[in-house]
Structure 1
Amino acid sequence: MKYLIATVRILFLGLFLFLIIMGKPMLWLGVFAISLIAALFFGRVYCGYICPMNTLMIPTESLSKKLKIQTDKTPDWLKSTKFSVIALIASVVIVIIAQKVLHKNIPILPVWIALAVIVTLKYKPAVFHNLVCPFGVLQKSFGKSSKLCTIVNEENCIGCKICEKTCPSNAILVVAENKKASIDTSLCFQCTSCQQVCPKDAIHYERVKTSSEVS
């Protein structure tokens, strides 16, 4: 499964680079817009499979660990969602001004990809995903109530925390009270990393039950 997912990511990265080279980055924004609608039903699949930033952050994190330069700490000024919101607004404003006033297309997407790589060299991926990425703000909002999502079967969960440590976006937390893993839908990339390491096969991608079905 992980090789198939890696292949999908590389193919989308290739598509992104092709559009950038062809001078048509706006077409990629169209892909992103479609992914927001998809997030309402399937969760944040864009972040897990399509986003070029995430695709490049994966090997970057591996390199950072090998060089022993990655830290578990998060800068105090980033410990809120304000920066990512400001980054989103600033990105939109810069693109609009550049087109309307300067009559130029600012390569905002490559800039953010470079920043994603730089941040991940120093900090864990969740720092950029949850606190910096301007596109993640929108994905989080659209994906928090998705119809399908990665869900933990509490009956099988043993609270080993392996999935919690594996999750690239800190979407999983083993609750202290019942020692069971819980997944935050708004943060989950549906990347299956947690499913691949779960020793009890307690994690699956399935339809989210409504409150009436649960009761």
Structure 2
Amino acid sequence: MCGLQRVFHRARVSLQRHPTDSTRALVPPQRQGGEVLVKRPLWMGAVIGTALTTGRAIAEERFPPPEFETGYKIPALKYPLPKWVGMEYLDVALLLVALAVGTYLVYTKRSRRGLALLSILSLFYFGFYREGCVCAIGSIQNVALALGQTSYQIPLHVVGFFVLPLLFALFFGRTFCAAVCPHGAIQELVVWRPVQVPRWLEHALGLLAYVYLGAAVLFAATGTSFILCQYDPFIAIFRLSGGFEMFLLGGCFLVIGLFVGRPYCRFLCPLGVLLGLFSHVSQKRVTIYPDHCVQCRLCEDSCPYNAIREPTIDDSHCDNTTSRRRLLVYLALAPVLLLLFGFLGSQFGAPMARAHATVQLQERLEQEDRGAVDGTTDASTAFRDAGRSRKELAAATATIQRRFHIGGWLLGLWVGLVVAVKLIGLSVRRGRDEYEADRGACVACGRCFPYCPADEDVRLQALASLEAESVEVRDETALLE
């Protein structure tokens, strides 16, 4: 007990033992009707506050700064300026402008050069300057956390980064992937000699993105971690800092991207899954040719993403019995796949729950109690020093494990639904008379635009018509003169 506390303690004891008329009001009254009425005058609070303030000032002067013989002076404290709040909303505005410009370049100008320039600008600003944060891919986790944790308030600019790409995909396809996304831009610029991935392998690898999306939503909704940001392969490159493992991961994707176009976008990007689903019902779609298709197959050879679908052969006279049987089998197999993958997902619920900090703390405390491990961790020591209840920790752990069990079922059902829909989609034949870009797979990069001879013919015809009009104008002017 310090000196100031002893003074107040003795004064209080003296007043309680020998109250006078002038000090009787300072003595706490006795219990009346089961309640204790405590009356303290305002001046006592003022005295205590003044004493504490004076004590703090004296404590600050007890240890004056040392005087250096070399003449060194302690520098004054400098506090960093607060970050401008409007920067996030400026990012949303620039994202909207970039999406509008990209859509204009894809559908109106059909300019591959313009899209390449926009990719470089987006990579510089959203990637290196803003260091990849906030990105539209990571915003999926914020939305999932807001839905899973009611106490979390999602920032408005994060909502903008999540909604705008989906909104444009709903009307114009994947124009965000064309030249706005920094992850896609850095892969687009390194494509060198792309090879075509077999269609069956592409469908199989494409399932990884759906699993990754479901796992990211589950981990974010339970408040475990943001795995999309934690394992982002390009964030270390954008920030020019990070662990060696992350640099190695990003470098591997870029090296693979020299020969396989956009491997992260096609086989792992969770936002690409959502954009692909929205693009299937978009009002406009990317067209390879401006007028008519001459079936030269140059667009198919120029696309490094295997997103060009060839015309179907007229098989009206062929027997479709095999295709119909396959479709019926897949339709009957769909419920079985849902239950099977749902059960498998529930079995992974407990292992995934161990990634949560609360579950890890509970297991660590149990191991320390049994003597299975040596020493303690910072988390276990802090828990014991805080005097928290082990029952509350066990109840919180059980709640988290139960949520992961349910989430595992939902994740498995999601994967089973994706597998069933893909099998059914592969068994359905769609008629095409010309080469078309797949709405879900096409990233609107514009690589096929300059290869289309029909596009060149339209430009030549437009130039010829303009030249003819100018000649007519000159002739009319000459006649008038």
Please report the TM-score for the alignment, with normalisation by the length of structure 1.
0.70
Are the equivalent residues in 2 in contact too, given 1:129–1:169 (CA < 8 A)? no
Are the equivalent residues in 1 in contact too, given 2:290–2:454 (CA < 8 A)? no
- Using the TM superposition, name which of 135-144 and 191-200 deviates more: 191-200
Give the aligned partner of residue 169 of structure 2.
Answer: 39
- Determine if the alignment matches structure 1 residue 20 to structure 2 residue 131: yes
1:57-136 equivalence runs, <5 A: 57-62=187-192, 65=193, 72-73=196-197, 79-80=203-204, 81-95=206-220, 100-101=223-224, 107-108=229-230, 110-111=232-233, 114=250, 116-121=253-258, 123-125=259-261, 127-136=263-272
The alignment partner of 1:175 has SS state of coil
Are the equivalent residues in 2 in contact too, given 1:47–1:189 (CA < 8 A)? yes
**AA in 1 matched with 2:442:** C
Give the aligned partner of residue 117 of structure 2.
Answer: 7
Query: Residue deviations 1:80-137, cap 9 Å, x none?
Result: 232110111223344556xx457x897347426726425424x521654333322211
Q: Distance in 2 between matches of 1:47 and 1:125?
A: 13
Distance change >3 Å, CA 43–CA 112, structure 1 → 2:
same
Are the equivalent residues in 1 in contact too, given 2:216–2:227 (CA < 8 A)? no
Are the equivalent residues in 1 in contact too, given 2:289–2:449 (CA < 8 A)? no
Match of 1:172 among 308, 332, 335: 308
Distance change >3 Å, CA 8–CA 59, structure 1 → 2:
closer
- Determine if the alignment matches structure 1 residue 193 to structure 2 residue 330: no
Q: CA deviation at 1:24?
A: 4.5
In the alignment of these two chains, the number of paired residues is 193
Give the aligned partner of residue 213 of structure 1.
Answer: none
**AA in 2 matched with 1:160:** C
Q: CA deviation at 1:199?
A: 0.8
Distance change >3 Å, CA 181–CA 192, structure 1 → 2:
same
Q: CA deviation at 1:72?
A: 4.2
Are the equivalent residues in 1 in contact too, given 2:169–2:275 (CA < 8 A)? yes
Distance change >3 Å, CA 72–CA 164, structure 1 → 2:
closer
Q: CA deviation at 1:144?
A: 1.0
**AA in 1 matched with 2:113:** Y
Q: Distance in 2 between matches of 1:200 and 1:170?
A: 21
Are the equivalent residues in 2 in contact too, given 1:16–1:28 (CA < 8 A)? no
- Determine if the alignment matches structure 1 residue 55 to structure 2 residue 185: yes
Distance change >3 Å, CA 129–CA 183, structure 1 → 2:
same
Q: Distance in 1 between matches of 2:125 and 2:231?
A: 14
Q: Distance in 1 between matches of 2:299 and 2:288?
A: 10
Q: Distance in 1 between matches of 2:125 and 2:290?
A: 39
| Greater Cα radius of gyration, structure 1 or 2 | 2
The alignment partner of 2:454 has SS state of coil
- Using the TM superposition, name which of 173-182 and 25-34 deviates more: 25-34
**AA in 2 matched with 1:156:** H
- Using the TM superposition, name which of 150-159 and 1-10 deviates more: 150-159
Name the structure where strand makes up a greater proportion of residues.
Answer: 1
Distance change >3 Å, CA 105–CA 158, structure 1 → 2:
closer
Structure 1 gap ranges (5+): 205-215
Distance change >3 Å, CA 38–CA 79, structure 1 → 2:
closer
Q: Distance in 1 between matches of 2:286 and 2:196?
A: 25
Distance change >3 Å, CA 159–CA 79, structure 1 → 2:
same
**AA in 2 matched with 1:199:** P
Are the equivalent residues in 2 in contact too, given 1:32–1:46 (CA < 8 A)? no
Give the aligned partner of residue 184 of structure 1.
Answer: 438
Q: Distance in 1 between matches of 2:161 and 2:188?
A: 21
- Using the TM superposition, name which of 174-183 and 32-41 deviates more: 174-183
Give the aligned partner of residue 211 of structure 1.
Answer: none
Q: CA deviation at 1:73?
A: 4.5
Distance change >3 Å, CA 53–CA 154, structure 1 → 2:
closer
**AA in 2 matched with 1:181:** Y
Identity value in percent = 23
- Using the TM superposition, name which of 7-16 and 172-181 deviates more: 172-181
Q: CA deviation at 1:78?
A: 5.8
Distance change >3 Å, CA 180–CA 76, structure 1 → 2:
closer
Q: Distance in 1 between matches of 2:255 and 2:159?
A: 23
